[in-house]
Amino acid sequence: MTAIFLKNFPEIVKRKIELVTQNMYNKARICLTGEMTMAEKIILTGDRPTGKLHVGHYVGSLKRRVELQNSGTFDKIFIMIADAQALTDNADNPAKVRDNIMEVALDYLSVGIDPAKSHIFIQSYVTELTELTFYYQNLVTVSRLQRNPTVKAEIQMRNFEASIPVGFFNYPISQAADITAFHATAVPVGEDQEPMLEQCREIVRKFNDVYGETLTEPEIILPSNQACMRLPGIDGKSKMSKSLGNCIYLSDEPEDIKKKIMSMFTDPTHLRREDPGHTENNPVFIYLDAFCRDEHFAEFLPEYSCLDELRAHYERGGLGDVKVKKFLNNVMQEELSPIRARRKEYEQRIGDVYDILKAGSEVAKEEAAKTLSEVKHAMKIDYFDTPEFLEEQVKKYSE
């Protein structure tokens, strides 16, 4: 019936009508398969295994993930160890990536990611992601990738200007594949990932526009506290980052944490205790913003009742850096001590951690394979999955 109806239209109009019909069909399918599909809330997020995780990851993303995981409002949660992405700028150092798979998994478990609620998986095992990336590449222009502010900043940070590996340049596209493969609706990450999410949404819109409603547009979930958006390094550099070696790691021993905090960059104009100081752009105060709660004052610094009072004293002068740093050390030791203890327990059960990764990777692979078939169906390259292709060809050659 549709075929007879379409016969009288030019090709371009036919294609448009087909797309509209397919969109209507997909929307109807979602409605018909029930509320569950429409309302499903899915998280995808992850980290590169380029080092142990640090407190920037903790306040910027991990803490939130655990809260969301335990809130019970998400139907599925996928947490990815992005080894394939890590290789895009570490191609000559595969040992580094391999060595850090377990480190990142241990960090996840130690902060409270629960394998009974969240699937932790290894990116390269889910080969479907590479296939999706390959198709999405056709929907993005080189100039659009060049304009991506995160890619720009990272190229500069790695001194890649003259020799950017193609894989690295492409990684926003592969990140879109990671997110869409799970039909993720929410991506809890740090602020630096915002341009990536925007690029992903563009790919989704373009794909759905060209091939029919198939992919899901994700939303970013940023930390609610400004200080946690982009925690600076202990050297005062704009971002704590594994690649910059300016980190306090979640697994650091108490003495190392103390040493790092006591050597932290503060306000360079605050030379003597009596001098008025600046708290803005002062990493020690940014860390306090990210970590300290009013109860910490009662416990460790009862002369003050809250951070605003401490800040005001520092700004008017008469408060030394050492005292503030000692307080920060107490606060951070309290937060990190149970995490470190849990990590030590999991370190004694590496076989179990391995099984958790394997099981999570199997689930992720199955899920991504479903999306890949939907994508291939939408793109009309599902030749052997349904009898349609053969039927079409038989009909064509018998006419």
Site for ligand ATP, rule CB under 6 A = 47-48, 50, 56-57, 60-61, 189-190, 192-193, 230-231, 239-243
Q: How far is the CB of 188 from ligand ATP (least distance, A)?
A: 8
Instruction: Quote the tokens at residue 310.
Output: 């401490």
> In the complex with ligand ATP, which residue's Cβ is closer, 239 or 296?
239
Rounded Cα distance between 233 and 287, Å, is: 10
CB atoms within 10 A of CB 61: 23
Judge contact between 328 and 261, C-beta under 8 A: yes
> In the complex with ligand ATP, which residue's Cβ is closer, 89 or 321?
89
Judge contact between 373 and 382, C-beta under 8 A: yes
Contacts of 387 (CB under 8 A, 6+ apart): none
Q: How far is the CB of 211 from ligand ATP (least distance, A)?
A: 29
The residue number with the shortest CB distance to ligand ATP is 60
Q: How far is the CB of 297 from ligand ATP (least distance, A)?
A: 24
> In the complex with ligand ATP, which residue's Cβ is closer, 192 or 213?
192
Rounded Cα distance between 328 and 323, Å, is: 9
Angle at which helix 171-180 crosses helix 128-136, to 10 degrees, equals 120
> In the complex with ligand ATP, which residue's Cβ is closer, 67 or 345?
67
Q: How far is the CB of 70 from ligand ATP (least distance, A)?
A: 19
> In the complex with ligand ATP, which residue's Cβ is closer, 201 or 242?
242
Instruction: Please provide residue 46's backbone torsions phi and psi, each rounded to the nearest 5 degrees.
Output: 180, 180
What are the DSSP E strand ranges found in the chain? Answer: 42-47, 76-81, 119-122, 186-188, 219-221
Q: How far is the CB of 62 from ligand ATP (least distance, A)?
A: 8
Q: How far is the CB of 321 from ligand ATP (least distance, A)?
A: 22
Rounded Cα distance between 175 and 136, Å, is: 11
> In the complex with ligand ATP, which residue's Cβ is closer, 190 or 277?
190
Angle at which helix 321-347 crosses helix 94-111, to 10 degrees, equals 100
Q: How far is the CB of 181 from ligand ATP (least distance, A)?
A: 18
> In the complex with ligand ATP, which residue's Cβ is closer, 45 or 266?
45
